[in-house]
Structure 1
Amino acid sequence: MMKILAHRGSSGTHPENTMPAFEEAYRAGADGIELDVQMTKDGALVIVHDAKVDRTSNGTGWVKDFTLDEIKELDFGGWFSEEFSGLRIPTLEEVLDWISGTSLELNIELKNGAVRHAGLEDGVVRLVRQYRMEERVILSSFNHYSLVDVHRNYSDVETAILFMEGLYEPWHYARSIGANGLHCYLPVAVPEFLQGAQQNGMPVRPFTVNKAAHIRRFKDAGCAGIFTDFPERAVKIRDESSVG
């Protein structure tokens, strides 16, 4: 069955990459959660997508220039709606502490591109192992050098390449760097690609899949999962189509 992975949590209805967004995805019946990890000035692993805090908080500046205490003072909910005012940024450890008590899977995107966070891979894997989540975690990144580092140092951890281009037979490339999955931008998930990946035993999980027609198409194509901002809607559509 195609798995429903909540993109930055239930980010269509809650402020992205916050505990309420993750908790809502769990309540909605998602199979897993996708989130983004960066590093603060003092080496803390925090859950935030953009390299700067400007869009999703009441602060300004680069994540890398804040200490954990400083970034914890910012409001990461008020930008979305007044209902969520005062939300603090979660750390990866806080999320792992919560999710380890559920059956949810976890996709951790290593945000190690525009800003290079030295030691990010090591820190993430160390925490994943501390919470014994190795069997439920996939590490993904647009920075494939990051994924190679993970594979070389922690070959037991599953990785997946993120990409937005119409690559030809990307399963060959993914295997060449030790990656186990293809996380592609929705428009490049053309039929030839989906069929070829399936024939070659490489799981595909497109992003970001919010429309009913796309959800049904990827289910019919045998995708391993989809990333969606609306997990409740996606779960309902997937389960209805499986009996309809």
Structure 2
Amino acid sequence: MNRIIVVSLISCIALVGCNSKESVLEKDYINIAHRGASGSTPEHTYAAYDKAIKQKADYTELDLQMTKDNKLVAMHDSKVDRTTNGTGMVKDKTLKDIKKLDSGSWFDKKYKGEKVPELNDVLSKYKKKTNFYIETKKPDMYPGMDEKLIKDLEDNTILKENDLDNGKLIIQSFSETSLKNIHKLNENIPLIQLVDDKVVKSLNDKELKNLSKYAYGLGFNKEVVNKDLVKKCHENGLKVHVFTLNNQDEVKEMKELGVDGAFNNNP
């Protein structure tokens, strides 16, 4: 009888060990690939995401815009002009229109033919290779963006509770409304409230406590971060992520300030 109990205990321990996985959210410092490896490849292209993954970034960042036919695409700007050979607003173009654009040549001719990625395609292609750090850009311009995002994530099985606990996904936005809406749709998703430089000095404990009701952490421009700010955020249960770094000296500086993660053009 005693032998059976011992064997059972060993089996249970082994099972727990096999199923346990350290959450990337628990790392002392999270390395986030800013728009992919955007320092050396054209931002928000498969080339940029592939390189970020090869460089072992903890997260690949995706900025989202929404097309005329309500499809989510990875692009930082609301206009296609800067990073493609097209012109005009994303919201005025269909996904078919967007997919015709060249999003690599502006950076270097060798990337000619790179396409603007659709979110669904990115999630499907990379869900077993990387973690996703998604930003809703100008959600007030795109009615239904938050709901569409959650649907795409669900369709690609990104919202399993265990995966979220292990840090598979973080969503950020400057829009408090967008984040609160997402929190209502799924309260298990870690959310980062991006903070405008102009309001950083006005952040007090009461405001930070209110933010902690829905946010996992706050995102700041690296230029406004100091030890006191990081300490105040931590005391109110909030992580601190900063943008945007370019080299190891800046990484070292941010780590010395105690930040929990940073966006890097060269992850």
- TM-score (normalizing by structure 1): 0.88
Deviation at 1:214, TM superposition (A): 2.3
CA distance in 2, matches of 1:151, 1:33: 21
Which of residues 177, 181, 194 is equivalent to 1:149?
Answer: 181
Which range moved further: 134-143 or 84-93? 134-143
CA distance in 2, matches of 1:171, 1:125: 26
Summarize deviations over 1:70-116 as a string: whole Å, max 9, x none.
111110000000010111110001110122121x2211100125x61
Deviation at 1:143, TM superposition (A): 1.4
Summarize deviations over 1:51-76 as a string: whole Å, max 9, x none.
10000000000000000111111100
Letter in 2 for 1:142: F
Letter in 1 for 2:180: V
Contact 1:77/1:88 (<8 A) preserved: yes
Which of residues 90, 102, 114 is equivalent to 2:117?
Answer: 90
SS in 2 for 1:128: helix
Residue in structure 2 matched with residue 202 of structure 1 by the alignment:
238
Matches within 5 A, 1:207-226: 207-226=243-262
CA distance in 1, matches of 2:249, 2:102: 36
SS in 2 for 1:86: coil
Summarize deviations over 1:169-212 as a string: whole Å, max 9, x none.
46324224x11111111111121101222233311110001243
Letter in 1 for 2:42: P
SS in 1 for 2:263: strand
Residue in structure 2 matched with residue 13 of structure 1 by the alignment:
40
SS in 1 for 2:33: strand
Matches within 5 A, 1:69-108: 69-102=96-129, 104-108=130-134
Larger radius of gyration: 2
SS in 2 for 1:206: strand
CA distance in 1, matches of 2:169, 2:219: 14
Residue in structure 2 matched with residue 124 of structure 1 by the alignment:
149
Q: Do structure 1's residue 162 and structure 2's residue 188 form an aligned pair?
A: no
Deviation at 1:156, TM superposition (A): 2.0
Matches within 5 A, 1:176-187: 176=213, 178-187=214-223
Residue in structure 2 matched with residue 174 of structure 1 by the alignment:
211
Gaps spanning 5+ residues in structure 1: where?
A: 232-244
Contact 1:198/1:222 (<8 A) preserved: no
Deviation at 1:31, TM superposition (A): 0.8
CA distance in 2, matches of 1:27, 1:227: 16
Which of residues 186, 189, 198 is equivalent to 2:225?
Answer: 189
SS in 1 for 2:114: coil
Deviation at 1:27, TM superposition (A): 0.3
Could you tell me the percent identity over the aligned residues?
A: 34
Answer 1 or 2: which has greater helix percent: 2
Which of residues 64, 67, 75 is equivalent to 2:91?
Answer: 64
Structure 1: which 4+ aligned runs deviate by more than 6 Å? none
Letter in 2 for 1:129: E
SS in 2 for 1:21: helix
Q: Do structure 1's residue 30 and structure 2's residue 67 form an aligned pair?
A: no
Gaps spanning 5+ residues in structure 2: where?
A: 1-27
CA distance in 2, matches of 1:133, 1:221: 32
Contact 1:47/1:89 (<8 A) preserved: yes
Letter in 2 for 1:117: Y
SS in 2 for 1:204: strand
Summarize deviations over 1:117-176 as a string: whole Å, max 9, x none.
111101111111222223111111111111111112221222111123224246324224
